[in-house]
A and B are shown apart, each in its own frame.
Chain A
């Protein structure tokens, strides 16, 4: 069950990263992802309310951009690979169809050998 507030987001990367590694980035954001096809207990339609855009930047460069619909499940998760070639922040911004933007960052640093 979703217990966190809408827009709360987490990004996870491996603990030990070395320069040039292909890493998997895991992310989750809390969002109801309402389709607009359901009604509430009073019979009133629940309007569509979902994450529409996700932008991923790594050290200031946009490396990926996702366009979503309400067909993505509630509390959207997305994982993708990234070539860790610099020590820099990885930032994701999720924007919903009501214009709210939710941001989360994690710093990519290299393990000392």
Chain B
């Protein structure tokens, strides 16, 4: 547990520093730093290759900005088999502009793109709650696409004490 707790954060800090140094020095960026740059500096954790591919696919190449998305999960999940999730937003839900999709991504799960919720303005508001499985401590990402093409994200880190994926 202590290993999986500490290393992603250290890796993140290292790559932040490396990315900053690389950008200022115009040096060659490593693959991880390219991925970080591609998904924006607000990303909480350097996405691995698979996560980067999923993010690129769902954002349609648009920048993913942090904001407007509330991803409510427990700080500590004692049972990774049942972890509650509530996703909400203050984005409009009108016929002219609405949240057309909400993607839930769990970085270190065997199948990280856990769910996609395709919505319409008929819902009136985005407030989705469900329960998910988590293999280990990781960041969870909720990504929203609006009908006019904006992509917003919310992130939260959940400490998992009992593996829920086998």
Binding site for B on A (CB under 8 A): 22, 24, 35, 37-38, 58, 61-74, 76-83, 85
CB neighbours of A81 from chain B (8 A): 123-127
Q: Quick one: CB contact mask for B105-125 with A, threshold 8 Å, 1 for yes? A: 010011101111111101111
Given contacts A72-B130, A79-B128, contact A66 B123 (CB under 8 A): no
**Cβ–Cβ < 8 Å partners of B110 in chain A:** 35, 37
Chain B positions within 8 Å of A, measured between CB atoms, are 81-83, 106, 109-111, 113-120, 122-133, 164-166
Contact A71 B133 (CB under 8 A): yes
Chain A interface mostly helix, strand, loop or mixed? strand
Residues of A within 8 A of B130 (CB): 72-73, 76-79
What residues on B are CB-neighbors of A77 within 8 Å?
129-131
Structural contact, A69 and B128, CB atoms closer than 8 A = no
Provide the residues of chain A in CB contact with B132, threshold 8 Å: 71-73
Selected from A35, A62, A65, A72, the residue in CB contact (under 8 A) with B131 is A72
> B113, A80: Cβ atoms under 8 Å?
no
Inter-chain pairs besides A37-B165, A79-B127, 19 sampled, C-beta below 8 Å: A22-B124, A35-B110, A35-B133, A35-B166, A37-B110, A38-B166, A61-B120, A63-B120, A64-B119, A66-B115, A67-B116, A69-B111, A71-B115, A72-B130, A73-B131, A73-B132, A79-B130, A81-B123, A81-B125
* CB neighbours of A61 from chain B (8 A): 120, 122
Contact of B129 among A37, A67, A79 (CB under 8 A): A79
Given the interface pairs A35-B110, A69-B113, A81-B124, the reply to whether A64 lies near B131 with Cβ below 8 Å is: no
Residue in contact with A74 in the complex, picked from B81, B83, B111, B126, CB distance below 8 Å: B81
Q: How far does the Cβ of A17 sit from chain B's closest Cβ, in whole Å?
A: 13
Residues of A within 8 A of B123 (CB): 63-64, 80-83
Residues of A within 8 A of B122 (CB): 58, 61, 63, 82-83, 85
Q: Can you identify 17 A-B contacts, CB atoms within 8 angstroms? A: A64-B118, A64-B123, A65-B118, A66-B115, A67-B118, A68-B115, A69-B115, A71-B106, A71-B165, A72-B115, A72-B133, A73-B83, A74-B81, A78-B128, A80-B129, A81-B126, A83-B122
Q: Chain A: which residue is nearest B118 at the CB level?
A: A65
Q: In the complex, what residues of B have CB within 8 A of residue A66's CB?
A: 115-118
A85 to B164, CA, bound (A): 40
Closest 8 CB pairs of A and B: A83-B124, A71-B114, A37-B166, A73-B131, A63-B122, A67-B116, A65-B118, A79-B129
Q: Which residues of B contact A67 (CB under 8 A)?
A: 115-116, 118
